[in-house]
Amino acid sequence: MIFRRSIRSEAISLGANDPALLELLGINVEEVNIRGKNGLKEATVYACIRILSEAIAKLPLKVYKEDGGTKKATEHYLYSLLKYRPNPYMSSSDFFRCVEVQRNLYGNAYVNIEFIKRGPDKGKIKALWPLDSAKVTVYIDDKGLFDSKNRMWYVVHINGEERKLQPEEILHFKGLTTDGLVGVAPLDVLKLTIENAASGTTYINNFFKQGLQTKGIVQYVGDLNPEAEKAFRDKFEQMSSGLKNAHRISLLPIGYKFEPISLTLTDAQFLENTQLTIRQIAAAFGVKMHQLNDLERATHTNISEQQRQFYIDTLMAILTSYEQELTYKLLMDSELQEGYYCKFTVDALTRADIKTRYEAYRTGISAGFLTPNEVRAWEELPPAEGGDQLLVNGNVVPIEDAGAAYRDKKGGGGD
């Protein structure tokens, strides 16, 4: 009954070669399908998206306020919603992991903003719900057919029904974009590269299933009718293929001769091509090779530098796009004017080893621009009494006063 009602509510017209129709019928016209979630079946793509999504998920998102300085706005109602529970079913970590996976698979991630509709808190945000990007269509009125308010809107397909949402009801996180409005799907751009990687995996899988045996040509002096040829081929493949027949002796009738085709993986430069493909996919996602456990050219020093570059070159742009969209869509204009904004805490990424941190803290405190309690807060320690005062080294004086103490002492001794 549900299926029938969905048909009545919306008429869908699909062509014979439409991917949606083929997917509905369970038909895949491509030998290797990497569309949408199928892209995760390729190991390198899965690893890259996992690294990016987990890097975003482990960073807490907080609301801050600029008011004679920057401080955490723990009194704001969005603080706990963003930091702990965007909706009743997802933690903040699960929420952003889901959103980042969608953004990397489809080039766009969409989140529906649920508002409180009645009561004293009417108009405030109640929850944030990630949407399946494959079921969201963006419409842009670039011809001016409607007024400017409806220039862009989103249509969500849920259970055979369509729901139209305005831009202020949607958080839209984009990947690489050519027009600033809609992101480009990475899997579409990298289609050939990812297909090559997936095909290589399929080839190796089949190679093992065949018992690591090479293919070859069976020579026969004479003619065979099609039926006899097919019967012999089926019988020979059944006898010589599969793991159970590995390293077993194959018997041929008189007049038949088997010539193996000895093309090895080395001859086909298979390993070199596979490594090149992995590097291409990793570079496209902005992931460093040591993060994929490729330590061939890695040292302790360059791994630390590559990790810093991963944050600067890859994550910083992603985090900035998240922060700007969240700040603009979730906060009211009056709150923006008061200095409220959303920001990820990146200490987990930029946090150095304990020796380096303590040396930096000592420099900051002795230079007079960090208080001991600020440092203790970063180390998750309780504040100490008197720790809110700025301290400075008494030996640091203006250059024109250098040696003044010695001059005073000398003058006093002369009297």
Number of structural domains in the chain: 2
The answer to whether position 257 is within a domain reads yes
The answer to whether position 307 is within a domain reads no
Q: Do β-strands 70-72 and 61-66 pair in parallel, antiparallel, or remain unpaired?
A: antiparallel
Last residue of a domain, one of 215, 248, 271: 271
* Listed residue (131, 285, 72) closest to 193, CA to CA: 285
* Listed residue (357, 348, 379) closest to 60, CA to CA: 348
Residues sharing a CB contact under 8 Å with residue 20, sequence separation 6 or more, in sequence order: 14
Beta strands in 179-286 (DSSP E): 216-220, 256-260
Collect contacts of 309-313 with beta carbons under 8 A, ≥24 apart: 310/286, 311/346, 311/349, 311/350, 313/286
Residue type, 138: V
SS3 of 285-305: the string is HCCCHHHHCCCCCCCHHHHHH
The answer to whether position 96 is within a domain reads no
Last residue of a domain, one of 271, 305, 332: 271
The pLDDT value given to residue 25: 45
The answer to whether position 295 is within a domain reads no
The answer to whether position 227 is within a domain reads yes
Task: Find out whether 369 and 347 touch, Cβ atoms under 8 Å.
Answer: no
* Listed residue (255, 344, 304) closest to 61, CA to CA: 344
- State the Cα–Cα distance between residues 369 and 1, nearest whole angstrom: 69
The pLDDT value given to residue 352: 61
Tokens coding 172: 């839209």
Last residue of a domain, one of 216, 249, 271: 271
Domain that holds residue 364: 352-415
- State the Cα–Cα distance between residues 403 and 397, nearest whole angstrom: 10
The answer to whether position 360 is within a domain reads yes
- State the Cα–Cα distance between residues 164 and 146, nearest whole angstrom: 15
The answer to whether position 12 is within a domain reads no
The pLDDT value given to residue 75: 92
Taking the chain (415 residues) in consecutive chunks of 10 residues, what is each chunk's mean pLDDT?
34 46 47 65 85 92 84 91 94 95 93 92 92 90 62 84 88 90 82 63 58 54 66 62 50 58 49 69 86 75 78 90 95 93 81 75 85 82 85 69 64 53
The answer to whether position 50 is within a domain reads no
- State the Cα–Cα distance between residues 341 and 318, nearest whole angstrom: 17
What does pTM read for this prediction?
0.68
